Amino acid sequence: MTINRLLTIRITSFSYMKGIPGDPTDNGGGFVFDCRGLPNPGREFRFQTMSGLDQPVIDYFEKFPVVDQFLAHVQQLLAISIDNYIQRGFTHLCINFGCTGGQHRSVYLAKKVHEWIGTSYPVERVLIHWEKDNWKKHEIV
């Protein structure tokens, strides 16, 4: 008898300052994408209390064609493995996005990939923003 389990894809945003998250499954691997080469809203004071989930930060990223190019290349790479993993009956895949603080670039891209996978594949998805509890919250005076 064959047990048909869905592929579970764990998508994580993280800060390189705190290290790459480990794989909690017995697969021991997955993808790690370095987002530090993309424009950084964290360098602008107006974005420091926000994350990649906030609309002003999303609008910031959408101004840069390189962000769309990066995302398109990531999706092309992921599609190869996701298709193969589904075909072979694998049950876990980890995808990690890292940036300096784990607040803007990695969060934005992790969410975009989470949404894309949800509309493209019959899989279970888990989205984790590893640094969320550590995002700096300042009052803007």
For the chain, domain boundaries: 8-132
Q: Environment class of residue 66 by beta-carbon count within 10 Å: exposed (0-12), middle (13-18) or buried (19+)? A: exposed
What is the helix (H) or strand (E) element at residue 133, kind and residue range? Answer: none
Amino acid identity of residue 69, one-letter, is: Q
Helix (H) and strand (E) counts in the chain: 3, 4
Tell me what pLDDT residue 22 has. Answer: 81
Q: Provide the token pair at 30.
A: 């997955």
Pairing of strands 31-34, 124-129: unpaired
Are 66 and 39 contacting, i.e. CB atoms less than 8 angstroms apart?
yes
Q: What is the pLDDT of residue 68?
A: 98
Question: How far is CA 41 from each of CA 27, 44, 48, 85, 118, rounded to the nearest angstrom?
Answer: 34, 6, 8, 35, 27
DSSP string covering 28-79, please? ---EEEE-TTS--GGGSGGGTT--TTSHHHHHHHHT-HHHHHHHHHHHHHHH
pLDDT of residue 138: 36
* Res 134: pLDDT: 62
The pLDDT of residue 25 is 81
Residue-level pLDDT at 130: 87
The pLDDT value recorded for residue 95 is 96
Q: Give the pLDDT of residue 137.
A: 46
pLDDT averaged per 10 residues, the chain (length 141): 72 92 80 97 92 96 98 98 94 95 96 97 94 55 28
Give dist(CA 137, CA 2) in Å, integer: 50
